[in-house]
Amino acid sequence: MNFQFAWSAEWIQKYESPWGIIEKFKYANAINGNTVLKLIGNENVRNFKEISNAGRRHRDLIYFHGVDCELSRKILGVNLKQYHDYLLVQSLYPFSINRSNLDYNFHRHLNYCPTCLNTGYHSIFHQIKFFDHCLFHPLQNLISTCPKCKRSMPEYSINKGNIDAYNCICGHHFLSSKNIRGIFSAWKKELIVQSNLVNTLQALPKHIMNKYHLSYPFYNHKNNSIFDKKNTTQHLKEIPQLLISAFTENKIDNSPVMNIYSNENIFQIKDNYHRLSESYNQIFPYRTRNLKLKEKCHTESIFFEIYKQTRVIYKSISRYIQNKIINIHKKCVRNFDDMYQDDSTCLHASAFILWKSECEGRRIYPRILNQAQVPSLYDFRFSNDQFSIYPKGPFMIHLKEILNSFQQDPASNGEWGFNLLKYNLSAINYVVNRITSYLLIERYISWLEVMHHPKEFKFLYPNGDIPMYLTKIPLEKNESISFYFPSGRFSYMKYLVKDIDNKLSCST
């Protein structure tokens, strides 16, 4: 039986999301999400006795597990899966698209521009986590709640139940006009991107960008942390500016980026593997005496050097914080360390000791400042070809993943896709040192935030979301390595320290 639908592929506008296309189809034919899924669902969906029994997986608009792409092409004029893949390339380049974790890119619930949705339009850029303003209305913040009931919007999927197109479950209708012909006419209009941010991203020189490996913590970002009530993606929204700063001189929306870079000749510095082997042999002589293990010792000696570097960096930053940032609270820190109590009156002592205990992987107990308790170089781990670093904690998991990516198949891990061991020690140390220093300081800032506004954190524990940065490594090894991160973080840390001082008195 052939059905006739009110539909035109010309209604699909620039960068329109698959959700936007389906909502238009629902509206034009006065049908609900269950009917749409019944029309374009694959065999797995058709096996349900009742289409309403199809769950989230079958209604998903990121992986399209329940969609018959050929049916979607026949009915909607577009293969939704192929169309979605095209949009990803357009919106996420040059970042690697990890196909197994596509949902990391998107908000779980519908994120929208009110002005666009009033006309029945929704863009893929609205749903991607690192954009917070509409690309067609740059002054309009993207939102994820209903203006009437204030609840979260429905999930980004083919809606379940008898919800009409462009309706919230509370009954609020988002279209601003009831003139159906006028709405259909608006869907044929060409949309022009007005966002300077998006236009600049689209204009970045791809032939130049392809000459670099970009390292960044995008797929480590754990939104919806169980410890944080705010459910924020603020770090991810820094990605576009970091990328623009890496490949242009432009600064967007007064959001400057700090850039530090290595010596231009860093890749020409020769490695002293003899010194590395001697140092490694002094600590682990049994490894080098075993002939079966000897061939692995070269790699292990490199990672042992990295381990020592991360240990030195942590101890240096710890001293700097104690002696320079919170120096007037030294007595508080010592008192807190001598007789640990949950109700310490000095928030700086609490933040510092909690940060140290997390970084050292130790439970909080008296005498954590005692350096004799700090794990020695023997704490270096190299089991199953997985190498450890000195600092612990959620941020350091990201660094461990970078270091241990050398043995992975690039095709299985699109985010890294490079082997650190192809570089000389100077380059490896530069990358590791920058990332380690940045993450350690950011983690201390996170603990300060917990002390500064504790009501925003569950269990008084900071979010595990990795702060955003970008490392730009030349593939030809003929220039410097550049490291980009948001500026103003040190000033923000000093603000937190000062504001905590102003709020509460302590024993200093």
pLDDT in tens, 301-355: 888 888 889 999 999 999 999 999 999 999 888 888 777 655 567 899 999 999 9
- What distance in Å separates the CA atoms of residue 249 and residue 251, rounded to the nearest whole number? 7
Q: How far is CA 128 from CA 156, 201, 240, 377, 492, in A?
A: 11, 14, 12, 43, 27
Most confident stretch, 50-54, 98-102, 231-235, 325-329: 325-329
Arithmetic mean of pLDDT over the chain:
85
* Residue 321 DSSP class: I
- What distance in Å separates the CA atoms of residue 489 and residue 292, rounded to the nearest whole number? 48
> How far is C-alpha 157 from the chain's CA centre?
22
Average pLDDT over residues 466-487: 93
- pLDDT grade for 285, boundaries at 50, 70 and 90: confident
Least confident of 278-282, 306-310, 333-337, 370-374: 370-374
Secondary structure of 191-212 in the HEC alphabet? CCCCCHHHHHHHCCCHHHHCCE
Instruction: Specify the length of the chain in residues.
Output: 508
Average pLDDT over residues 229-241: 71
- What distance in Å separates the CA atoms of residue 433 and residue 504, rounded to the nearest whole number? 35
- Residues of the chain with pLDDT > 90, as a percent, come to 54
The whole-number pLDDT of residue 415 equals 45
- What distance in Å separates the CA atoms of residue 294 and residue 257, rounded to the nearest whole number? 45
User: 130 — phi, psi (to 5°)?
Assistant: -100, 25
User: 68 — phi, psi (to 5°)?
Assistant: -85, 105
The whole-number pLDDT of residue 221 equals 46
Q: What angle do CA 225, 227, 232 make, to 5 degrees?
A: 45
Entry pTM? 0.84
Average pLDDT over residues 252-258: 70
Asked if pLDDT for residue 361 goes beyond 60, the answer is yes
- What distance in Å separates the CA atoms of residue 235 and residue 489, rounded to the nearest whole number? 12
Spatial CA neighbour of 235 closest among 466, 1, 479, 471: 466
Tokens linked to 97 = 């698209």
Asked if residue 34 lies in contact with residue 161, where contact means CB atoms within 8 angstroms, the answer is yes
Most confident stretch, 153-162, 170-179, 362-371: 170-179
The whole-number pLDDT of residue 344 equals 62
Give bridge partners of residue 88 from the DSSP assignment: none
Is cis: bond before 94, omega within 30 of 0? Answer: yes
The whole-number pLDDT of residue 340 equals 63
- pLDDT grade for 380, boundaries at 50, 70 and 90: confident
| CA dihedral (48, 50, 55, 59) positive or negative | positive
Q: How far is CA 8 from CA 5, 45, 141, in A?
A: 9, 25, 30
Asked if residue 462 lies in contact with residue 443, where contact means CB atoms within 8 angstroms, the answer is yes
- What distance in Å separates the CA atoms of residue 130 and residue 107, rounded to the nearest whole number? 10
Asked if pLDDT for residue 416 goes beyond 50, the answer is no
The whole-number pLDDT of residue 384 equals 52
User: 453 — phi, psi (to 5°)?
Assistant: -135, 75
The whole-number pLDDT of residue 273 equals 76
The whole-number pLDDT of residue 392 equals 87
* Amino acid letter for position 357: S
The whole-number pLDDT of residue 288 equals 58
Residue indicated by tokens 């008296």: 366
Helix segments in 80-210, DSSP class H: 80-92, 114-117, 124-127, 180-186, 196-202, 206-209
Asked if residue 264 lies in contact with residue 479, where contact means CB atoms within 8 angstroms, the answer is yes
- pLDDT grade for 409, boundaries at 50, 70 and 90: very low
Asked if pLDDT for residue 191 goes beyond 90, the answer is yes
Pairing state between β 470-474 and 386-387: unpaired
Helix segments in 321-424, DSSP class H: 330-338, 347-360, 394-403
> How far is C-alpha 108 from the chain's CA centre?
14
- What distance in Å separates the CA atoms of residue 382 and residue 280, rounded to the nearest whole number? 13
23, containing H or E segment:
helix 18-29
Higher pLDDT, 263 or 506: 263
- What distance in Å separates the CA atoms of residue 247 and residue 237, rounded to the nearest whole number? 18
Asked if pLDDT for residue 189 goes beyond 80, the answer is yes
Least confident of 146-160, 209-223, 445-459: 209-223
**CB neighbours (10 Å) of residue 230?**
11
Asked if pLDDT for residue 223 goes beyond 80, the answer is no
Higher pLDDT, 12 or 393: 12
Asked if pLDDT for residue 140 goes beyond 70, the answer is yes
Spatial CA neighbour of 160 closest among 26, 47, 12: 26
- What distance in Å separates the CA atoms of residue 217 and residue 486, rounded to the nearest whole number? 14
Q: What angle do CA 176, 182, 185 make, to 5 degrees?
A: 120
Residues contacting residue 300 through CB under 8 Å, at least 6 positions apart: 280, 284, 287, 382, 387
Asked if pLDDT for residue 359 goes beyond 80, the answer is yes
Asked if residue 332 lies in contact with residue 451, where contact means CB atoms within 8 angstroms, the answer is no
